[in-house]
Amino acid sequence: MALSAKMQSARVVAGRRVMATAPRMAGVVAPRFGASAVREVSAVAPRTTYRASRSSRVVVEAAKKSVGDLSKADLEGKRVLVRADLNVPLSKSGDGSISDDTRIRAAIPTLKYLMENGAKVLLTSHLGRPKGEDKAADKAKFSLAPVVGRLSELLGAPVTLVDDCIGAPVEEAVSKMSNGELVLLENVRFYKEEEKNDKEFSKKMAANADLYVNDAFGTAHRAHTSTEGVAQELSPAVAGFLLQKELDYLDGAVQQPKKPFVAIVGGSKVSTKITVIEALLDKADKIIIGGGMIFTFYVARGLTVGGSMVEEDKLELAKKLEAMAKEKGVELLLPVDVNVADKFDAEANNQIVDVDAIPEGWMGLDIGPKSIELFNAALADAKTVVWNGPMGVFEFPKFAAGTTGIANTLAELTPKGCITIIGGGDSVAAVEQAGVAEKMSHISTGGGASLELLEGKVLPGVAALNEK
């Protein structure tokens, strides 16, 4: 029931699959959702502020100052440095074409707002993982040049790529700009100083700008020059519409959710979700556990789980989490049946069994139908739901029913007034696969950033911005 890539890193010990390496965070999966400003939702109770819309619904507002708080008088003629996340996947054919433009589309509302209000926009981002040692080699593989055409098309305006992100090339490009124009600065990670949050590099980036906008939630948990350092050099430093929306939902709705609040936590390993579960125990009324991590809980309870993956060194932790839930009065729900396979393969033989009857050598790859029914009943009265992590190996059709079932249930709850938040990572791919992404209240654009915000951690890229 783990994620496919992770299952391959397990070894078999006494008939059970045991993690062989130190746990790693799941990779970020880019979602597909229409770029928009703050979505209106019914009855959210965040720790921040509210305002009534014309349709009498409630709009959540974050405590950080937003680009929407800046008027034409604040922006016209000003040089605005915008950090966006344009780290788009490129086609494997090597022709430089973009295979998914989601992140570009997500940045458009902020960019258009600035341009329409007469700002001179200096757009910065990273792409890929350049080493920052050989600029020529990095440029050949990680230039932002492939982004220019699609960005220009979506903005309905020409976009010029500047051959650097600091120094004379940027200064010269800015000197030629008219109000309402945009230039794209070359990959900020061509400089090693970016990830080191170097003070002098921050000053160089800020030298050609008057104010700063961070709209890159996916990197907001990193204290880098373009996400944190520059914000210390420019004022005002504000959130873009996309970043604001992430904070509205993940910080606002989760910190003071409308009750009942149900959290769904899935994925392969307990170890990657420890702090998330512990943080949610202080907020949620119910926590639903799915994915490969359930078998660690079962073994901690004294059950045998066949060849299913187990983190042997986390058995005491599983017991502790169940005890904490009981102490806090939080209902912790685990599956009662599972879809097991005789091998980790899309075409494996499979059968549905109760969790106390898993055959020797078989491994759980999804939750069973009785568990789906149990979880749906637990979700029926929910007013806020946060989902992070799939219920099983949804990449394999035979083992996708649990994840798809949860996705469909949340899609049905949204129009009934429930706030449904997909907290980044593989959950995003899951709702995409189920075809219900557009029916969720919010889909997060950040995997690691989403997790850290749910854990209650301070994101450096957010903390650096001005308060309202």
Catalytic residue annotation: 103, 269, 425, 448
Taking the C-alpha atoms of residue 364 and residue 395, their distance in angstroms, rounded to an integer, is: 14
Residue type at position 179: N
Q: Tokens 């994101």 identify what position?
A: 459
DSSP state of 291: S
Residues in the chain: 468
Taking the C-alpha atoms of residue 137 and residue 147, their distance in angstroms, rounded to an integer, is: 18
Q: Quick check: helix, strand or coil at residue 10?
A: strand
Taking the C-alpha atoms of residue 172 and residue 167, their distance in angstroms, rounded to an integer, is: 9
| Burial per residue of 433-442, b for 16 or more beta-carbon CB atoms within 10 angstroms, e otherwise | bbebbebbbb
Output the CA–CA distances (angstroms, integers) from residue 1 to 277, 345, 346, in the order listed.
19, 11, 12
Burial class (CB in 10 A: 0-12, 13-18, 19+), 169: middle
Residue 380 phi, psi dihedral angles, 5° rounding: -55, -40
Q: Tokens 């949050």 identify what position?
A: 197
Residue type at position 280: L
Output the CA–CA distances (angstroms, integers) from residue 229 to 188, 194, 199, 208, 239, in the order listed.
13, 9, 7, 15, 15
